[in-house]
Amino acid sequence: VLYPWHKDDTSGPAVWYAGQMSPTVGSFSQYCYFLFCPTLLYRDHYPRNREIRWFRVCGMLLKCSITVAFITVLTKEIFSLPPTNMKNILKTFLSCCLWGLLYQFIAGYFFLHSWLNLFSELFRFADREFYSDWWTCHDFHSFYRKWNLLVHDWIKAYIFADLKDLINKKWYNKIAFVPTILISALFHEYVLWAPLRSIMPLLLLLFGTFGSILFIVRPSPTVKFWNYFLHFGLHFGVSIMLFLYTMEFYARHFCPRDGSFIQTFIPRMYDCYYAVIK
């Protein structure tokens, strides 16, 4: 059962007992507040500030506007040249390599910092820790935990913790992260499918497969090389994803096919660009 609160929470009327949800839940106003406040974990009561600081709201709105402008400029730079020949394909690849990591930084700053803090201030939501110092991490295990605390807390509470009931405790800590990462990768694929209307299991491959392997590696935190390796891996992964998704976007534009559901899962890059490269 996917319940909207943690099963160990006994502080309010939303009480979990004997594997069942309590028939007495929070009020409708509490549920509406949960829908709009920047958290994925339902609670009857959240820590809240006394008043809305409108000066801070204006500051966050300004930051959102600036970051959206930067994202728009970078998106136009990446998608400016339709890859109709080898020269444009090479320029698109170099553009993705140049702006890939910056694109990730700005997009993360827009959502995890500016946007979520804006809604926190508007709803007087006091818990503002949406990310941690992921840029100092030396391994992907720490990066996955610190990059997006909003999603990490939800996955830990509703997926990772529930696997305790399904997996033998002897093997739990060793293999429970695998389905957790795979489910997260599938969700990211769904998020990308919504605007692109195509599914290349690229995130599932990079995030679910290589991410699971790198999740196991625990290098020494005192060696700076591993921090550089982490940033290089992020840059490489984001650049490759931007390039391939850009190519697939234009391939579906230049080589349209029938709109059947199965075509959503079939990449068109090779068939569409084979004649161009040839």
The verdict on whether 113 is a catalytic residue reads no
Asked whether 192 and 107 are in contact (CB, 8 A), the reply is no
3-state secondary structure 135-183: HHCCCHHHHHHHCCHHHHHHHHHHHHCHHHHCCCHHHHHHHCHHHHHHH
CA angle 134, 111, 127 (to 5 degrees): 75
Q: Where are the alpha helices (DSSP H) in 109-139?
A: 116-122
113, 141, 188, 235: the catalytic one is 188
The one-letter amino acid at 150: L
What token pair was written down for 152?
A: 């990490």
The CA-atom distances, in angstroms, between 190 and each of 82, 184, 193, 206 are 25, 10, 5, 15
Question: Residue 16's closest CA among 42, 40, 50, 46?
Answer: 42
Distance (Å, whole) CA 255 – CA 268: 8
- Active-site residues: which are they? 188
